[in-house]
Amino acid sequence: MANQATRTPQATPSADEIQAFQRATRDLIGVALHSLEAAGGGISLPQMRMLLALDDLGRCPSSTVARTLGLGASSVTRLADRLVGSGHVLRGSDPHHRSVVTLELAPLGQTLVDQVLRWREQELARILARIPPMLRAATADGLDAFHQVVGEEYAADLHGPVPL
Please give the mean pLDDT across all residues of the chain. Answer: 87
The domain spanning residue 68 has which CATH number?
1.10.10.10
3-state SS of the chain: helix, strand, coil percent to 5? 65, 10, 25
Residue 10 pLDDT more than 60?
A: yes
In a domain, 137, yes or no: yes
Q: Can you tell me the mean pLDDT for 6-12?
A: 76
What is the span of the domain harbouring residue 70?
Answer: 36-150
In a domain, 89, yes or no: yes
Work out the burial of residue 113: count CB atoms within 10 Å of its CB; fewer than 13 is exposed, 13-18 middle, 19 or more buried: buried
- pLDDT tens-place string over residues 75-99: 999 999 999 999 999 999 878 887 8
Q: What are the backbone angles phi and psi of residue 162, rounded to the nearest 5°?
A: -120, 125
pTM over 0.85: no
- pLDDT tens-place string over residues 37-62: 888 868 888 899 999 999 999 999 99
In a domain, 114, yes or no: yes
pLDDT of amino acid 158: 55
DSSP run (H or E) holding 104? strand 97-105
Triad 26, 151, 103: Cα angle to 5°: 80
In a domain, 130, yes or no: yes
CB 76 within 8 A of CB 62: yes
